[in-house]
A and B are shown apart, each in its own frame.
Chain A
Amino acid sequence: QQQVKQSPQSLIVQKGGISIINCAYENTAFDYFPWYQQFPGKGPALLIAIRPDVSEKKEGRFTISFNKSAKQFSLHIMDSQPGDSATYFCAASLSGSARQLTFGSGTQLTVLP
């Protein structure tokens, strides 16, 4: 029940296109859903996060869409740029025991110039 499933495993997008990464969770007690960006040789860095009481959150070119009934959430990167090429991880955590993040398996995004 702690698993977070992420797809696709890899994604290639043309510059200016839209990148979409999807995640599904099982534990309905999760109440915080962040997305992390990781460049080679670096640790994950928080990109954007959402709580389940809203259906969408936008920060610049990055948008999270959240579907509580389907237990799914997704990251949309608008106007994708070569500098966005990185590995993206969705994650989730519990409010009652907010000591750990449960991560998805990651999506390697390549944005072609």
Chain B
Amino acid sequence: ETGVTQSPTHLIKTRGQQVTLRCSSQSGHNTVSWYQQALGQGPQFIFQYYREEENGRGNFPPRFSGLQFPNYSSELNVNALELDDSALYLCASSLGTGTRGYGYTFGSGTRLTVV
């Protein structure tokens, strides 16, 4: 059973550019949630995807968008990058939309640096 896989592991982008981050969910999981973790801070919920639709969103602007594919993998897209978007982006997969228990599994993240 594979865990949650995120790619790329590191990325450097220029302010104003667009970026796409990818997440492959753990085998058997049908829900993907994305979090942003700024340096020295706790993760903040961006949004969740379930059945290929957005199923809850945190306090992030519309330039943060996502997709979920039929195989339950997901993408996070960020347009018009700002310096404050520099962070570790974490993907968590689960079976169902809840956050409870060991079934809510995080990947190792993508470190995005905006210069």
Contacts and interface: CB of A to CB of B under 8 A. Distances in A.
Contacts of B92: 43
B48 A99 contact: yes
Given A41-B108, A43-B106, A99 B4 contact: no
Given A43-B107, A44-B90, A98 B99 contact: yes
A103 interface: yes
B100 A49 contact: yes
Interface residues of B, number: 26
A99 B56 contact: yes
Given A98-B98, A99-B97, A45 B106 contact: yes
Contacts of B90: 43-44
Contact of A105 (B41, B56, B102): B41
B45 A101 contact: yes
Interface in A9-58: 32, 34, 41-46, 49
A100 B44 CA distance: 9
Main SS at interface, chain B: loop
B61 interface: no
Contacts of A98: 97-100
Most chain A C-beta atoms within 10 Å of own C-beta, residue among B4, B33, B44, B45: B45
Contacts, number: 63
Interface in B100-114: 100-102, 104, 106-109
A35 B3 CA distance: 20
B99 A44 contact: no
Interface in A73-96: 89, 91, 93
Given A43-B108, A89-B42, A99-B45, 13 more contacts: A34-B99, A42-B108, A44-B43, A44-B106, A49-B101, A99-B33, A99-B55, A99-B99, A101-B99, A103-B44, A105-B40, A105-B42, A106-B42
15 contacts: A43-B106, A43-B109, A44-B43, A45-B106, A46-B102, A93-B100, A99-B97, A99-B98, A99-B99, A100-B33, A100-B56, A101-B35, A102-B45, A104-B42, A105-B41
